[in-house]
């Protein structure tokens, strides 16, 4: 069977959308595997759509039977109802098994910086478990480990700006920790480049700037013209504020695991800088007017 189709999980979502856009620009046939088949199509019907069938292995395998490369961005940010980290790990394992049985030639998988099987944080532990399933599958793979995305319809940077535009005080947890954001289009280029390779690799997908979290918040504050006081506060107060804000924005603002992961410096790479070239500080200077105008809701996007 001739394989010339590339599958992207969540091709109409966030990072998957940018991967799909690049593939279409290269005249590659693209199929989206998604839990939201009725999501608005930004590509005018040029992307095929198949629903995830995690509980039906034969149908999942059939959806991948003519696929050359699978780009996997599927994951969950937090437990919500029936959507859990444990479920996401199991679903990912089933997807990988289906890809192997279908004869997919290459899997490009989006993970996270510093995943660990021994992590007490379900996000980082779950990502490590999925990496383990992929590396043991016999498939050709590239594992890309981004820290935080910016650009497009990102959540973190946009929502920091939203809060800074509206609140008199912005609290951050005490400590010396940071993050190493990558522009979503740089990430998409890395993914597509790796789709053309057959060498097994695990790469930290990070941008050229590592910023302290407080430094990043101050940069965004100045860029959007905020007068909010940025100050360190106890973690319990951050989480209390998140719960208070939840009904206001209709979304989960912050979780205890996210605070722990960030303040443990897990969103900074110890490896070499990747091929990403977009500097956050330069991007911010030209896009600040777009940030924080509307809240980017995780619940609205996925539930």
Residue 175 and residue 260: Cα distance in Å, rounded? 11
Same domain, 129 and 59: yes
Q: Is the pLDDT of residue 274 over 90?
A: no
Q: Which residues pair with 50 in a beta bridge?
A: 33
CATH number for the domain harbouring residue 37: 3.40.50.720
Instruction: Write out pLDDT tens, residues 232-259.
Output: 999 999 999 999 999 999 999 999 999 9
pLDDT at 271 over 80: no
CA distance 282 to 88: 35
Report, as an integer, the average pLDDT of 216-222.
Answer: 98
pLDDT in tens, 72-129: 999 999 999 889 999 999 999 999 999 999 999 999 999 999 999 999 999 999 999 9
**Model confidence at 2: pLDDT above 70:** no
Query: How do strand 141-146 and strand 178-179 relate by DSSP bridges?
Result: unpaired
Q: What gap in Å lies between CA 231 and CA 67, rounded to an integer? A: 50
Q: Do 298 and 252 share a domain, yes or no?
A: yes
Distance CA 111, CA 202 (A): 10
Whole-angstrom Cα Rg for the chain:
19
Residue 273 is predicted with a pLDDT of 65
From CA 102, how far away is CA 61, in angstroms rounded? 5
How many structural domains are present in the chain?
2
Task: Report residue 303 as tokens.
Answer: 């539930």
* CA-closest candidate to residue 107, choices 133, 136, 72: 72
Task: List the one residue out of 87, 201, 195, 187 whose CA is nearest residue 135.
Answer: 201
Residues 63 and 194 in one domain: yes
Q: How far is CA 197 from the centre of its chain?
A: 22
Asked whether residue 91 falls in the same domain as residue 58, the answer is yes
Query: Does one domain contain both 49 and 195?
Result: yes
Considering the domain architecture, whether residues 31 and 12 belong to the same structural domain is answered as yes
Do 137 and 36 belong together in one domain? yes
Structural domain harbouring 116: 5-149+182-205
Residues 10 and 129 in one domain: yes
Query: Residues 155-196: pLDDT tens digits?
Result: 999 999 999 999 999 999 999 999 999 999 999 999 999 999
Band (3; pLDDT cuts 50, 70, 90): confident
% of the chain exceeding 90 in pLDDT:
92
Asked if residue 122 and residue 30 are part of one domain, the reply reads yes
- Same domain? For 194 and 253 the reply is no
Q: Could you report the per-residue pLDDT of 21-73, keeping only the tens digit for each?
A: 999 999 999 999 999 888 899 999 999 999 999 999 999 999 999 999 999 99
User: How sure is the predictor about 215, in pLDDT bands with cuts at 50, 70 and 90?
Assistant: very high
56 & 193 share domain: yes
pLDDT surpassing 80 at residue 210: yes
49 shares its domain with 169: no
Does residue 206 surpass a pLDDT of 70?
A: yes
> How far, in Å, CA of 186 to CA of 277, rounded?
7
CA–CA separation, 141 vs 99, rounded Å? 11
- Could you write out the DSSP letters of every residue in 1-58? ----EEEEETTTSSHHHHHHHHHHHTT-EEEEEES-TTS--TTTT-EEEEE--TT-HH
């Amino acid at each position: 069977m001739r394989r010339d189709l590339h599958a992207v999980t969540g091709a109409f979502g966030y990072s998957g959308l940018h991967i799909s856009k690049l593939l279409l620009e290269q005249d590659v046939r693209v199929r989206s595997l998604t839990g939201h088949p009725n999501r608005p199509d930004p590509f005018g019907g040029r992307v095929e759509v198949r629903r995830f069938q995690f509980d039906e292995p034969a149908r999942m395998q059939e959806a991948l039977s003519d696929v050359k490369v699978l780009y996997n961005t599927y994951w969950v940010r937090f437990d919500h109802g029936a959507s859990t980290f444990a479920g996401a790990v199991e679903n990912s394992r089933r997807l990988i098994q289906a890809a192997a049985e279908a004869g997919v030639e290459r899997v490009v998988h989006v993970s996270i910086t510093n995943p660990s099987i021994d992590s007490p944080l379900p996000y980082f532990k779950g990502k490590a478990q999925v990496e383990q399933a992929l590396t043991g599958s016999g498939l050709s793979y590239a594992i890309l480990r981004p820290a935080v995305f910016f650009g497009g319809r990102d959540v973190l940077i946009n929502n920091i700006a939203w809060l800074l535009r509206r609140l008199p005080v912005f609290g951050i947890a005490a400590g010396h920790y940071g993050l190493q954001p990558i522009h979503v289009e740089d990430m998409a280029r890395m993914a597509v480049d790796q789709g053309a390779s057959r060498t097994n690799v695990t790469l930290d997908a990070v941008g050229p700037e590592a910023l302290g979290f407080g430094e990043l918040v101050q940069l965004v504050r100045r860029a959007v013209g905020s007068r909010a006081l940025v100050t360190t506060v106890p973690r319990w107060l951050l989480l209390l504020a998140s719960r208070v804000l939840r009904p206001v924005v209709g979304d989960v603002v912050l979780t205890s695991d996210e605070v722990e992961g960030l303040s443990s410096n897990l969103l900074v790479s110890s490896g070499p800088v990747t091929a990403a070239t977009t500097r956050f500080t330069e991007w911010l200077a030209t896009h600040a007017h777009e940030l924080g105008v509307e809240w980017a809701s995780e619940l609205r996007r996925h539930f």
